[in-house]
Amino acid sequence: MTNSRVAVMLVASALAAAMAAAQTTPPWQALVGSWKLNTTLSDSPSRDDAGAGQRPGPPASGRFPGGEELGGTGPGGPGDDRPPQGPPAFAKALRIELLDEGIRITSDDGHSRELVATGVPVERQRGGTTVTETVTWQTDRLVIVDSASDRPAMTETFGLAEDGSGRLIHTIQLPDRGSSESHTVKWVYDRNTAGSDGGK
């Protein structure tokens, strides 16, 4: 066997291995790890202390304008001892772990949330209201759409910053009460190098 043929076979083998690895590594792997809130780059956690040029976030009560609540009760309602779905959007720290088809997000207060990117609608409880949650991976971020019969849909995303900084960007697009317009609230997290990365 000639050297050139051996080289071609080695290159083909390396390409096949790389493709196999890419197929087994989910794209949301990049979100896994420990994160701490960057208060300077994030929107304010309340309407009262929003700085100039900042979009206000939800008030300290955990409710968004219009009454939407992130957190709420467990997925099965009263008596369900499973972890509540949806850590507060203004959590000071997050830990993201890898699941088969998505991620688990745990906030510093112990609230845990599983986002499985199957694109299959799932019913969740949000502050006493049943919402339909659909999670997908779109290009470079996890996209969560919550819809309910009594309000417009709310879109939430988790992804890495486009500036190459490696920061985690969490956004929620909220409908403005009483109008067809919406605004986006953003929280920025730095990777916590003091904490260990989470895995499956």
Whichever domain contains 131, its CATH number is 2.40.128.20
60 or 6, which is more confident?
6
Higher pLDDT, 94 or 149: 94
Is residue 171 situated within a structural domain?
yes
User: Could you tell me if residue 156 is inside a domain?
Assistant: yes
Please tell me which residue, 181 or 156, carries the higher pLDDT value.
156
**Between 23 and 98, the higher pLDDT residue:** 98
Tell me the CA distances in angstroms from 77 to 16, 125, 127, one per residue in order. 48, 7, 10
In a domain, 43, yes or no: yes
In a domain, 77, yes or no: yes
Decide if 125 is inside a domain: yes
pLDDT at residue 102 tops 80: yes
Angle 31-47-51 (CA atoms, 0-180°, nearest 5)? 80
Would residue 82 count as lying in a domain?
A: yes
Give me the domain span that covers residue 47: 28-191
Contact 37, 126 (CB under 8 A): no
Determine the pLDDT at residue 90. Answer: 72
pLDDT digits (tens, 9 = 90+) for 73-87: 333 333 333 334 455
- In sequence order, which residues have a C-beta less than 8 Å from that of residue 150 and are 6 or more positions away? 129
Quote the mean pLDDT of the chain: 73
pLDDT (tens digit, 9 = 90+) per residue, 103-153? 999 999 888 889 999 999 998 876 777 889 999 999 999 999 988 887 788
Task: Report in angstroms the alpha-carbon separations of 111 from 18, 50, 93.
Answer: 37, 25, 11
Integer angstrom CA distances of residue 163 from 41, 60, 167, 169: 13, 30, 9, 11
Q: How confident is the model at residue 15 (pLDDT cuts 50, 70, 90)?
A: low
Tell me whether residue 187 is in a domain: yes
List the single range of 106-110, 177-181, 185-189 with lowest mean pLDDT.
Answer: 177-181
Check residues 73 and 198 and name the one with the higher pLDDT.
198
Domain count, the chain: 1
- Higher local confidence (pLDDT), 14 or 78: 14
Flag whether the pTM goes above 0.85: no
pLDDT number for residue 22: 47
Spatial strand order of the sheet with 102-107 comes to 112-116, 102-107, 93-98, 33-37, 182-191, 168-175, 151-160, 141-148, 129-138, 122-126
The answer to whether position 147 is within a domain reads: yes
pLDDT of 55 reads 41
